[in-house]
């Protein structure tokens, strides 16, 4: 998940932010195998290894690191989907026509 702000008429000085959080969905044992100590399990700490979870996230915010770890573990990207939503943000101190966009991108990896 990430967010960015675009001002009047899509100004060139749009403010982009890094990815806010990288969530991990899959079997607990497999997530631990791939991401090790970088996996934050605080939202689902007692999940058995054979069970599926969608509540883990990574302790870093860089997609390249996640992709590298998946590649090193023999995974390949199988699909990708993205969406964005928009809201006006005058209450956040910006002009009334500033917009805050929230983006959500999902990457699906598989291992043969």
pLDDT for 100: 65
pLDDT for 82: 84
pLDDT for 16: 54
- Cross-strand pairs, 17: none
pLDDT for 20: 72
Indicate the pairing of strand 99-110 with strand 76-88.
antiparallel
Classify residue 67 by its DSSP letter. Answer: H
| Closest C-alpha among 55, 35, 36 to residue 44 | 55
Which tens digits make up the pLDDT trace of 38-97? 999 988 888 899 999 999 999 998 889 999 999 999 999 999 998 877 765 555 555 555
Residue with tokens 């509540």: 55
Stretch 14-28: mean pLDDT? 76
Radius of gyration of the chain, Cα coordinates, nearest whole angstrom: 17
94 token code pair: 């910006």
Three-state DSSP class for 56? Answer: strand
**pLDDT surpasses 60 at 1:** no
């Amino acid at each position: 998940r990430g967010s960015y702000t675009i001002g009047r008429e899509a100004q060139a000085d749009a403010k982009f932010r890094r990815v806010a959080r990288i969530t991990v969905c899959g079997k607990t044992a497999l997530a631990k195998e791939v991401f090790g100590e970088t996996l934050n399990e605080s939202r689902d700490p007692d999940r058995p290894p054979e069970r599926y979870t969608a509540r883990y996230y990574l302790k870093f915010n860089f997609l390249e690191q996640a992709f590298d770890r998946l590649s090193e573990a023999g995974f390949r990207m199988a699909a990708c989907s993205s969406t964005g939503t928009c809201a006006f943000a005058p209450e956040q101190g910006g002009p009334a026509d500033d917009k805050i966009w929230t983006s959500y991108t999902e990457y699906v990896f598989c291992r043969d």
